[in-house]
Amino acid sequence: MFRSVDILQIHVAHACNLTCESCSHYSNHRHSGITQLQDAEDWMSLWSRRLETRRFVLVGGEPTIHPNLPDFIPLVRRHWPAAHIRLFTNGFFLHRHPNLPELLHADPNIELCLSVHHPSLKYQNRLRPIFDLLDTWQAKHPFHLTILHSHANWTRRYHGYGASMMPFEDGQQRESWEICPAKHCKQLFEGKIWKCPPLAYLKLQQAKFALPEAWNRYLAYQPLDPRCSDSELDAFIAKEDEIYCRMCPAQPQPLVLDAPIRLSEEASGTDVSAH
């Protein structure tokens, strides 16, 4: 018997060319590395026999940093034939994947989501070539495109940066869960299923920054192992708030970003080794 989750996500790449403060995937902390296709194949094989998902999402980091990004689309489709596939991108490296529009056009159940991260004129000017490219693609191979103004709903997920980063720990885990924008975004990472992005990728933060002891509780989180029983899988899917939700705020923390454009090229995708 198949179990079902609403959303299942996979990090295609950990690096990002933008620096959005308090990113829930920690992509502003200058991580590197990609998910190898064979690893993704192995992870999906472990779960696609047991778990259905309404929506499978390719995220990062910035997915278009991955040199083989288009190959993830048929990979997901083989494992979850009925899932709606969404590919999130800030758009800056779409030009690296000229065969992507044909793949998007061929499958009507795929959506390209362009995430706009800042309303400033400087940022909007940087987007103009991206919109021109998308217009060219759409003229030749029409596909489902959604423009998301992500900056309008940005909220703080933690205090500080790097080694000084701290959890909120408001002590109101139910309230934290109820306002969490990622509460239904299960992560497929290292062959296991994680409750949310902040928990899944916190270990990358720990490896890079040696976080303060306040994070130990959250680093101790145990994701769902593919060898789990059906009852353990059912319990995982049904669980809502838990103690780990205390890492995030119990009240909305609106955040006004500076234009998150990196001046350097260190996160432009030159380092694509597996993390």
* Rounded-to-5 percentages of helix, strand, coil across the chain: 40, 20, 40
Q: Which domains does the chain have, with CATH numbers?
A: 3-247 (3.20.20)
The pLDDT tens digits for 19-29 are: 999 999 999 99
pLDDT per residue as tens digits for the range 163-173: 999 999 999 99
- Give the mean model confidence (pLDDT) for residues 12-16: 97
- Is the model's pLDDT at 251 over the cut of 60? yes
Please, which pLDDT band fits residue 32 given cuts at 50, 70 and 90? very high
Backbone φ and ψ for 187, nearest 5 degrees, come out as -110, 130
What percentage of the chain has pLDDT greater than the value 70? 95
Strand order in the sheet with 110-116: 144-149, 110-116, 84-89, 51-60, 3-13, 185-189, 192-194
pTM of the shown model: 0.93
Residue 231 has pLDDT above 80, yes or no: yes
Give the whole-angstrom CA distance, residue 118 versus residue 223: 33
Q: Under DSSP, is residue 93 helix (H, G, I), strand (E, B) or coil? A: coil
Q: For residue 269, what pLDDT band results from cuts at 50, 70 and 90?
A: very low
Strand partners, 113: 88, 146
pLDDT score at 262: 67
Sign of CA dihedral 35, 272, 130, 23: positive
Contacts of 47 (CB under 8 A, 6+ apart): 188, 193, 226
Average pLDDT on 127-153 reads 96
Partners of 149 in the beta sheet?
116
pLDDT value at position 270? Answer: 40
For residues 10-18, average pLDDT: 96
Q: Other C-beta atoms within 10 Å of 216: how many? A: 10
Name the residue with tokens 């939700």.
245
Report the first-to-last Cα separation within the chain, whole angstroms: 34
